[in-house]
Amino acid sequence: MRWHKDRPFDVDGKMRHLTDSIVWKSFDLEYPSFVEDSHNVRLCLASDGVNPFGKMGTSYNVWPVVLIPYNFSAWMCMKDSYFIRSTLISGPKAPRNDIDVYLQPLINKLKEIVGKRCKDI
């Protein structure tokens, strides 16, 4: 979980991991107390809909919601074994703007585990 903190900085200016991004660096500047402990977990929440029956005319969707810890190295954080499958949204239509209703229990649980505010960037 300390890879992002201990790794040598990239000097050629190319982005090889999210730690090289402007967003990561601006987050570090804005929340120095979070950065102090390199074991704090940075998670990405990703979701995309699939049609499990393989027919485009079928009006049934499944939306898996996956959490990805970005504290690991690039070759580890994108491995399936490190993905945290958190929620499965299923139904006749895509959740669209109502996805926050489905994600609210996940966010509440993360806040409970952490005991602090979760920051969305």
Residue 47 has pLDDT above 80, yes or no: yes
One-character DSSP codes across 30-78:
H-HHHHHSTT---EEEEE--B-TT--TT---EEEEEEEEETTS-HHHHT
What's the confidence (pLDDT) of residue 25? 83
Beta carbons of 43 and 70 less than 8 angstroms apart:
yes
Residue 121 has pLDDT above 60, yes or no: no
The residues spanned by each domain of the chain are 3-114
User: Residue 92: which of 59, 48, 64, 62 has the closest Cα?
Assistant: 59
Residue 104 has pLDDT above 60, yes or no: yes
What's the confidence (pLDDT) of residue 56? 62
Strand runs labelled E in 76-119:
84-91
Q: pLDDT per residue over 18-28, tens digit each?
A: 777 888 888 88
Which residue bears the tokens 């730690």? Answer: 19
Q: pLDDT per residue over 66-95, tens digit each?
A: 988 888 877 888 888 889 888 888 877 777
Gap between the Cα atoms of 72 and 37, Å rounded: 15
Gap between the Cα atoms of 35 and 21, Å rounded: 15
> Which pTM value belongs to this model?
0.69
